[in-house]
Chain A
Amino acid sequence: MRIDTNWRGDPAERIVFTFNGQPIEGYRGDTVAAALLAKGIRLVGRSFKYHRPRGIFTAGSEEPNALVTIGSGADQMPNVRATLQEIHDGLEVRSQNHIGPLQRDLLAVNDLLHPFLGAGFYYKTFMWPRSFWERVYEPVIRRAAGLGALSHDHGGARSEKAFAHCDVLVIGAGITGIMAAYVAARAGADVLLVDENMSLHNRHRHFDDPIRDAQGITHFSPEDFAFFYLNALQAMPNVRIMTRTTVTGIYDGGSYGALERTGLHLSPDAHPDLPRETFWRIRARQTVLATGALERPIAFPNNDRPGIMMLSAFMRYVDGFGVLCGRTPSFFVTNDDAHRVIAGLIARPEIAQAIRRCTVIDPRPEARAQGDYRLIAGAEVIDTRGRHGLREITVRQGGSQQRIETDLLALSGGWNPTLHLTCHLGARPVWNAEAAMFVPAQDAVPGLHPAGACNGTLSTGGCLRDGHTTALRAIAVLGLADPGVPVPQAGEEAGNGVALWQVQAKGRAWLDLANDVTTKDVAQSAQEGFASVEHMKRYTTQGMAPDQGKSSNIGALAILADATGRSISATGTTTYRPPFVPLTMGALGAGGEGHGFAPERKMTSHAATVARGAPMIEAGLWYRPSYFPAPGETTWQQACDREVRMVRQSVGVVDVSSLGKIDIQGPDAGAFLDFVYTNTFSTLPVGRVRYGLMLREDGHVMDDGTTARLGPDHYVMTTTTAAAGQVMAHLELVAQGLRPDLDVRVISVTEQWAQMSVAGPLARSLLNGILDTPLDTAGFPFMACGAVRVHGIEARLFRVSFSGEQAFEVAVPARFGDALYRDLVARAEALGGGAYGLEALNVLRLEKGFLTHAEMHGRVTAYDLGLQGMMSPKKDYIGKPAAARPGLLEPGRERLVGLKPVDQGGILTAGARLFTKGDPHTRPHDQGYVTSVGSSATLGHMIGLGFLRHGPERMGEAITLVDHLRGIQTPCEVCAPVFFDQDGGRARG
């Protein structure tokens, strides 16, 4: 029921949402849990394994029970905690993990079978027959045990990622965090205060402990204290406050991950561009951890019914939402703080009026009632009743038992500090036996200072002091002066109670509500020899649910300690890993969908290419045309064949701008290249181009390409498209690290120049149409380069050929790339030629035996490629000693050869294996493999390049190509890797 006390919600803002199709009315700011409880709805889901009816257990992100599915279609989100999700108009909420209606779940039969379904049941039972596990058992078990489901609809791009930076990050805006943030902000630090809740108000009523200012004059309630200090913080320009944001992980160097529920509290239609969630990466120089503590449940038989919840949650629903969860409440508590909270609560007139009866059960015989309620001291709850919601509890006091009618049981077994984040860099919490709680290890995270309840300080006065002290410690590290903020005073009394891990009584007592783990399961784990806390976790699955056992870990290990006769500190705890709360993949991967996956690099000819209908293929990040379909052509092969013949017979144009271009300048540029390449470049005359090969440090081939000498101290290197980045990084390493003695400067000019290759017997005639000064044969021989003018624009011309034809590459500043490409293609077409794509380019280079990264795949040496002649004996270069290792110069290595089919129509495939004729086609007989194939329009059959043991010694041998995957066997002849124009006369013509 809704009561009208201390509730700042606006009754005018009514919201209607649906729960399992039934319309429910609530108010803006309600969580789903609060709105359901206000309407008396206690049953909200079914448990993971036994399909027990479950309700709302907490009021925060630690909720183990009340997981629901919201939305539908692409917006469907499973496993949303009803305790965090705010309601909005049109919100659809559905319960999870039941077959049939929630009230009559067919799988509730599991609960009747519970004697058989304990921990280890699956491991022991579904062993036989072995093949059934994957096909039968697993699908059935997964169907029965589980959480919500995804819709399988594409999620769309509805989340985002962002970065934030601050001097002091304060995690948690309770009184500790507010105090710390205030002190740090007053010192002038850039403060980021992050809190998981939607609002920072309405949640500071621990118990009505008045807070006095340093002079002791003004008295605040904790609520008003928070209100005043938050207002002050909000007014300061150096403070940012982020609500609905949970810090999920701590990483190296002061990096924090955080999840913001940016738009989940609004209808997806509220704003089409509003992100649903934001994944923040925060860099903080110092951090104050003020995450508070989670109240500790008590294990007793049937402690999992709807209507049983934590006392702190019960209070939060009263104070935060004006929702009273029961009119005949009972409380099972082990500490004095709980008595103070209950006494304070029922002293409020509106509560006293609403409550008919109030019973408090305390196991301590010496417990004293602190208010007007019935206390049963020295007693325990030993059973509960009520199938879909609590009706009755059984209390044992000494030798007698009594049944008490009640509609709500609130539990308080003390507090567990919320120290999860302090474990993220590997530290383990430390057991404080006196306070009976785990506290963070000293210096668990560099630069992070735990304060307040998460550090084991429970009193209001202690929390304020802690927040103040840690803030001073943080600002001292930052070199800021103490702003002299006085410490407010408040009560110092807290934490007086006993630890009661479990009630000894007959029946199943739940520890982990999320994964349905009972005390019996933990004891059985110990009995079967899984006595280490890590083994117990895996054996029982305790703590492995989405809530990471926030409510159950400490209780489980205390019971394990008991079962194994060890102390809690000797038993230890499992660790906590990121994320602190479940994260959606949509938030983690935000921005990476569709076009956001990777940068799309487009050449200046892109628009013209697409306009010609060329399908684009990705080469690294670049988009390049595959082929240019002509009218009447129905397959890519037809287009490719035509383009190959066109280049061999007239002229073709292809954009080669994606190849890496690196400007190398300086007095030592030649010496630098001599060190990088296996062959010599310092002797290359100005105005000439040379083919070069570079090795990695390990002696294997890194890349090849041509390098032109534009001036005495100026070279421009060409790399392959795929290796451009790698080569650039390599050159930087050599210049900065390996040869700092050389005076050389390198910079990428890949993007500066649009570079078009014009290839074919008519290449020179075509070029002469655009060059301001036409070329003659003698004036610009093969492998020449120089500055030219194209249509009056300063350009560079390189006479290099990757097709074996007479060919030129002309480079203009990229702004003219589009125009130049269109002009060149139009002129080529006028000469009977035209544009060609990568398919034809590949066939043309294969016919000439030119290499790509299909051959230079990282495991080949220059020797394997037959390029040992390029390895200069006269100088040192990178990879030289390693390449000379005996194993790398074995004639029996797989070495480059050409392959052609014995029958004209024989099919060659890349990736196929090579076998000596007559050998079995099995791995021990493997002789090599095929790297590239193409259908040669020039020769009329397929050709290929591959690596074959003793390759060059086996020219003319008939071998067998076998593609086991595609089921192809082709008799082939080993031949030289150059198939066409062996003497290279065409390129020089």
Chain B
Amino acid sequence: MAELIAKSPAHGLVPVETAGARLTEAPLAPIWSIAPLRGKTEAVSDALEQGHGLPFPAPGTLHAFQGVRIAWSGLDQAFLMGASPAPELSRDAALSDQSDGWAHMILEGSAARAVLARLVPIDLAPAACPPGSARRTLLGHMHTLILHPGGDRFELLVFRSMAETAVHEVARAMTAVAARAAIGD
């Protein structure tokens, strides 16, 4: 039997590195959308606690426990990342495999916020976007889910098909920000 080789969305496009910022791709890992059915948010949250040690996240938040994370991803919807959902969850929530739908990139470094300020219209300063935040917004023209676990690290999820454009846009912003730093601005 032949074997199908798995290819990550940003294969060959990253890493991109400039002074103060580095763009890489997160390893392929499970991502499942969890959308509690009507009136089941609490039950789903309990099942998540049981199965993964994580709550169903409030809007805009990201939680992590033992390598598994859950991020708010939209109205009545969250992304469980790093594990397949515990079987009990399927009773009260719509589950959908999203593992292959997203190019999952990591931008980190002291210039990360300045780079994203070129592309993202919302405020990512610590006061507005504290550690443990998840944001649905725009990256240039693209819809994105931004995860901010803390520090200078931002994880950018864009549709898989747009990985090339995303890297192009972020890399362009990275070079512009680095150029400013180089002339001492």
Contact = CB atoms under 8 A, between A and B. Distances in A.
Contact of B6 (A157, A161, A266, A815): A815
A757 to B, nearest CB: 18
B118 A160 contact: yes
A751 B5 contact: no
B2 A770 contact: yes
B37 A666 contact: yes
B1 A815 contact: no
A281 B100 CA distance: 34
A281 B121 contact: yes
A751 B97 CA distance: 11
A190 B127 CA distance: 10
A275 B176 contact: yes
Contacts of A792: 1, 3
A667 B95 CA distance: 13
Contacts of B101: 748-752, 814
A40 B121 CA distance: 47
Contacts of A274: 176, 179-180, 182-183
B98 A752 contact: yes
Contacts, number: 154
B45 to A, nearest CB: 16
A791 B98 contact: no
B110 interface: no
Nearest to B178: A273
B7 to A, nearest CB: 5
B185 A596 contact: no
B96 A819 contact: no
A279 to B, nearest CB: 11
B173 interface: yes
B160 A751 contact: yes
A595 interface: yes
B172 A596 contact: yes
A747 B96 contact: yes
Interface string A882-899: 000000000000000000
Contacts of A283: 123
B76 interface: yes
Interface string B1-33: 111111111000000000000000000100001
Contact of A791 (B4, B166, B168, B185): B4
A600 B164 contact: yes
A160 to B, nearest CB: 5
Interface stretch (A326-334, A601-609, A676-684): A601-609
B35 A747 contact: yes
Per DSSP, chain A at the interface is: mixed
A775 interface: no
Interface stretch (A162-170, A423-431, A451-459): A162-170
B97 A163 contact: no
A666 B94 contact: yes
B100 A751 contact: yes
A767 to B, nearest CB: 14
Contacts of A749: 96-98, 101
Contact of A591 (B94, B117, B169): B169
B19 to A, nearest CB: 11
B102 interface: yes
Given A747-B33, A752-B97, A823-B2, A595 B182 contact: no
A600 B159 CA distance: 11
A61 interface: no
Contact of B128 (A161, A165, A736): A165
Contacts of B128: 165
B141 A273 contact: no
Given A281-B121, A752-B98, A603 B161 contact: yes
A263 B177 CA distance: 12
A663 interface: yes
Centre residue among B3, B98, B160 by max chain A CB count within 10 A:
B160
B15 to A, nearest CB: 18
A148 B182 CA distance: 32
Nearest to A741: B38
Contacts of B169: 591, 596
A596 B160 CA distance: 17
A820 interface: yes
Given A600-B165, A751-B160, A790-B4, A745 B35 contact: yes
A298 interface: no
B125 A190 contact: yes
Interface residues of B, number: 59
A727 interface: no
A407 B100 CA distance: 75
A863 interface: no
B162 interface: yes
Contact of A601 (B3, B77, B162, B185): B162
Contacts of B93: 745
A818 interface: yes
A263 B161 CA distance: 34
Given A747-B77, A823-B2, A595 B165 contact: yes
A154 to B, nearest CB: 17
A666 B5 CA distance: 34
Centre residue among A272, A596, A772, A814 by max chain B CB count within 10 A:
A814
Contacts of B75: 736
B140 interface: yes
Given A157-B172, A596-B172, A165 B125 contact: yes
B120 interface: yes
Contacts of B172: 157, 591, 596
A37 interface: no
B178 to A, nearest CB: 7
B175 interface: yes
Given A591-B169, A666-B37, A815-B28, A823 B125 contact: no
Contacts of B121: 163, 281
A791 B2 CA distance: 6
Contact of B99 (A160, A793, A813): A813
Nearest to B31: A752
A272 B175 CA distance: 9
A132 interface: no
Contact of A819 (B5, B28, B122): B5
Interface string B88-129: 000001111111111000000000000001101111010110
A163 B123 CA distance: 8
Contacts of B76: 745
A736 B77 CA distance: 13
Contact of A602 (B2, B97, B123, B161): B161
Interface string A713-740: 0000000000000000000000010000
A599 interface: yes
Contact of B102 (A270, A271, A751): A751
Nearest to A594: B168
Contacts of B43: none
B68 interface: no
Given A274-B179, A736-B75, A819-B4, A665 B96 contact: yes
A472 interface: no
A19 interface: no
Contact of A595 (B37, B159, B168, B173): B168
B64 interface: no
A792 B1 CA distance: 8
27 contacts: A157-B172, A160-B176, A163-B117, A163-B120, A165-B122, A190-B127, A271-B182, A271-B183, A275-B180, A283-B123, A600-B165, A663-B94, A665-B96, A745-B76, A749-B98, A751-B101, A751-B102, A751-B160, A791-B4, A793-B4, A812-B4, A813-B100, A814-B9, A815-B6, A816-B5, A819-B5, A819-B7
Given A272-B179, A819-B5, 5 more contacts: A160-B173, A591-B118, A595-B165, A667-B37, A814-B160
The 10 closest A-B pairs by CB, nearest first: A665-B94, A751-B101, A745-B94, A814-B100, A165-B123, A601-B161, A273-B179, A752-B101, A745-B35, A274-B179
Interface of A: 157, 160-165, 190, 262-263, 266, 270-275, 281, 283, 591, 595-596, 598-604, 622, 663, 665-667, 736, 743, 745, 747-754, 770, 772, 790-793, 812-820, 823
